[in-house]
Amino acid sequence: MRSEAKVELRQTQPALHADKFVRLGAAQSDRTPPPLTPPAPTGQLKASNGTPRRSVIRGQSSMEDRASTIKRARLRRTRRLAPLTIGLVVSAAGVGGLVSSLLLARFLDVERWQVLLAVVLVVNGAAAGALALLADPLWLAVVVLVLDGASALAFVVVATTRQRITADALRGRVIAASSAMTGAARMLALAGAGLLIDVIGPRGVLLLLAALALPVGMLLGASGPAVAGRGSE
């Protein structure tokens, strides 16, 4: 009797397992996978990051040249400082940009943009010379605050002036020309700054920029009459 029961159990086990697999497969087939989230199209990403630059052709390339050169020289000048001192200097740069934007929003006079930009360039050059001569961390932070504040003022001045003096029909061509000159100036400044820093050192480069700031500022301040506005074109 026991042997017959064992034989019968062995014969029914494959059928039970087969039925179990069938029911498990049916249950799995009823489950639908969750919908996949399509990736964001690349065109939207490019559109969000592709905002055109607003710049004046006359001043943008010069400011890019100076800013790129000063950035490399300042990096070589301050990289041997302590981490806390470097943090203080970098924080001062951010504060300088914030203060300059607040001042510019209140006192910007677009009608006399040449004089304002010339003053900003002279202040920028004086700060670059002070950065080359000073070594105290606190004074370095103050100088970097003035330097980055003046640079931020200059870029906002040229951007606002370009928007003011450029007619709507010419805006696309002005933006394209400004972008081309800005890219070329940045590339030449970075390459030239590296070569000059290797030859005369970062302090010499900063002193050279400080010496060039005064004649460039005077030339810019005396270049042409004040801007009358977009309607003059």
Residue 19 lies in a domain: no
pLDDT of residue 131: 79
132 part of a folded domain = yes
H-assigned helices in 37-112: 42-49, 57-78, 83-107
Whole-number pLDDT of residue 163: 77
Domain that holds residue 129: 54-220
Task: Report the amino acid identity of residue 194.
Answer: G
120, 157 contact by CB (below 8 A)? yes
Mean pLDDT over the full length of the chain = 65
Residue 105 lies in a domain: yes
- Which of 62, 94, 103, 110 is closest to 212 using CA atoms? 62
First to last CA, the chain: 113
174 falls within a domain: yes
pLDDT tens-digit profile of 149-195? 777 777 777 777 777 778 888 888 888 888 888 888 878 887 887 78
Residue 41 placed within a domain: no
Total domains present in the chain? 1
In a domain, 196, yes or no: yes
CA distance 79 to 91: 15
Q: What is the CATH number of the domain that holds 117?
A: 1.20.1250.20
125, 67 contact by CB (below 8 A): no
| Residue 45 predicted with pLDDT over 50 | no
Q: How far apart are CA 198 and CA 192, in angstroms?
A: 10
The confidence score (pLDDT) of residue 137 equals 74
- Any domain includes 136: yes
Residue 13 in any domain: the answer is no
Rounded to whole angstroms, the Cα distance separating 106 from 101 reads: 9
**pLDDT tens by residue, 185-224:** 878 887 887 788 888 887 888 888 888 887 877 777 676 5
Query: Is the CB of residue 217 less than 8 Å from the CB of residue 118?
Result: yes
